[in-house]
Amino acid sequence: MGDGPRPFADLGRRVGLDEDRVVAMIRGLRERGFLRRFGATLRHQRSGFTANAMVAWQVEPARIEEVGRIMAAFDEVTHCYQRRTTPGWSRNLYTMIHAATPEECRILAEKMARTAGVADYELLFSNEELKKTSMRYFK
């Protein structure tokens, strides 16, 4: 799909349809439940967000839903997951955050901790991206 001002018109030209027909087909797929959302993918490294960290939080089980919603509401959070704990590792909520610098990640995590009332967390910074691909559902 093109990145011009009329991407659906560009797509339509490539497949022999007009823009309105492409939009109608996408809308139909969404209405029938085949598509949940449609959006652009931002390559955060190319846009200046070169630091990222997985923040592992220890949250009281009774507050996990509440805290998860608070954390997920931050614009800088791209993933928010609950996981089971294991012996020796009591973290049960994970957020992936993105910022321009590691220090900005630390400041953001502190703000998130204050906002959610969670004191026990650890930042796990990425060292190197080994694989980054989109999911392929069909061949």
pLDDT at 10: 85
In percent, how much of the chain has pLDDT > 90? 57
pTM of the model: 0.67
Q: Show contacts of 98-107: CB within 8 Å, 24+ apart.
A: 98/44, 98/49, 98/51, 98/52, 99/49, 99/51, 99/52, 100/48, 100/49, 100/50, 100/51, 101/50, 101/51, 102/51, 102/53, 104/51, 105/51, 105/52, 105/53
Give the C-alpha distances (Å, rounded to integers) separating 78 from 12, 75, 104: 31, 8, 16
In the numeric block, which tokens belong to residue 31?
Answer: 């209405």
pLDDT at 50: 74
Q: What is the pLDDT of residues 32-62, one digit of tens each?
A: 988 887 665 655 566 666 789 999 999 999 9
Give the C-alpha distances (Å, rounded to integers) separating 4 from 18, 26, 43, 68, 104: 16, 18, 17, 36, 33
For residue 42, the one-letter residue type is L
